Amino acid sequence: MHFLLRISGKLMRLKKKSIGLMILLFVVLSSTIAFAIEPGTFGNWFNAFYWVLTTMATVGYGDYFAVTAAGKVFTIFLYIFGIGLLSLVIGKIVEAFGEMQRRRGAGTLSFYGKDHIVLINWNRKTQAAVHEILCYTPDCRIVIIDESGQHPLEQMDQVHFISGDASSDEILQKACIHEARAAIIFGDTRIDEASLTDGKTLLIASSIERIAPQVHTTVEIMQEKNIQNFRHVHVNEFVLSHDAISRLAVRSALEEGNAEVITQLLSRQHGDDIYEIPLKSAWTTYGDAFQDLLSRGATLLADRGDLGINRKLDQKIPQDARLYIVADEDTYRKIRG
């Protein structure tokens, strides 16, 4: 018994590749011995190989079985050692899955994929962003980078977590930042000083722009005066923290109903939404596009950031125009074709 315990202990400490190679050699050798003992029973080596596997797996279909004394003794040998080795492999596989799940929860696994969205710094805004992204594109993969050591949304398979400093090249590479569709950097709420929060955000943005300048980067800024620093590192979009909420509250107080309209436009979960549409060759002027879209149930809203195109309907649409409409999702899909 002591000998078997020592053997099993040594086997458990072996690497997975060593165990796999040992199992393969054991099965091949056992198949060769079984065929050598009873060639008439099996007919060929492959049948012996098949019998060894079914015996070790405790399936035992009964289509092949040993008839000689030597064959039966060898079958007993397979029962004792073969099934034990197979159980060891199964245990290693279960252990590997458990270890992978633990590493996923701790945020130490690298992400492999593309066209995903990277969210940096976990807080309530990040959580709301996750749900909004999945509302827009349910199949989108999301990677969260945060310095906490626990996956914040472990129950969601589409959300991958990486623990670490997002300004580190190693952490950004773990998030496969160079293959990402976009990156959103939220202010670190664990920092009390707004200027220090913006400083950390700026450091992260600089790292992303240096490693993956093609990735569309959006940052949350605590102080408006710091925007010029972010323009220096070529950040694509800026969102002033609490600024939108403050403006929305004022509009709601002074002009009743504004808040409901803006809320619809901010979230795809409520009412109509803003969509970008491709230019059509049949449209020469903004008026052509406006009337055609209106007949389809959509309203032409803007060309890039220009919201005043309803006052220039007779002007030609430039080739580099980016048109946005307000519509529901079904109408948008019909317009897109």
319 in Cβ contact with 280 (< 8 Å): no
Long-range (24+ apart) CB contacts under 8 A made by 51-56 are 52/27, 52/78, 52/82, 53/27, 55/79, 55/82, 56/27, 56/82, 56/83, 56/85, 56/86
In whole angstroms, how far apart are CA 142 and each of 64, 93, 159?
A: 52, 27, 5
Report the predicted TM-score, pTM, of the whole model to 2 decimal places.
0.63
- Give, in words, the CATH class of 2-105: mainly alpha
Pairing of strands 323-327, 273-277: antiparallel
Per-residue confidence (pLDDT) for residue 260, from 0 to 100: 63
Q: What is the pLDDT of residue 109?
A: 92
> Given the DSSP bridges, would you call strands 182-185 and 117-120 parallel, antiparallel or unpaired?
parallel
Q: Which of 145, 155, 149 is nearest to 211 (CA)?
A: 145
* Token code pair at residue 152: 């914040």
Give the relative orientation of helices 16-37 and 69-77 as an angle to the nearest 10 degrees.
Answer: 170
Q: Are 163 and 148 in contact (CB under 8 A)?
A: yes
Neighbours of 148 (CB within 10 A): 14
Scanning the structure block, which residue is given the tokens 């906490």?
Answer: 148
Give residue 25's identity as a one-letter amino acid code.
Answer: L
pLDDT on residue 333: 87
E-strand ranges in 53-204 read 117-120, 142-146, 159-163, 182-185
Instruction: Supply the DSSP symbol for 79.
Output: I
Q: What is the pLDDT of residue 160?
A: 95
Mention the CATH class of domain 117-240.
alpha beta
Question: Which burial class, exposed, middle or buried, applies to 50 when counting CB atoms under 10 A from its CB (0-12, 13-18, 19+)?
Answer: middle
C-alpha dihedral, 95 to 100 to 102 to 103, nearest 10°: 140
Which residues belong to CATH 1.10.287.70 in the chain?
2-105
Per-residue pLDDT of the chain (337 residues; tens, 9 = 90+): 444 445 555 555 556 677 778 888 888 998 999 999 999 888 899 999 999 888 887 777 778 888 889 988 988 888 877 777 777 777 777 777 888 888 888 999 999 999 999 999 999 889 988 988 888 788 899 999 999 889 999 889 899 999 999 999 999 999 999 999 999 999 998 998 988 999 999 999 999 999 999 999 999 888 888 878 777 788 888 887 766 655 656 665 666 656 566 666 666 555 678 888 999 989 999 999 999 999 999 999 999 888 888 899 999 999 999 999 998 888 988 888 7
Close Cβ partners of 103 (under 8 Å, ≥ 6 residues apart): 109
* pLDDT at residue 269 in the model: 59
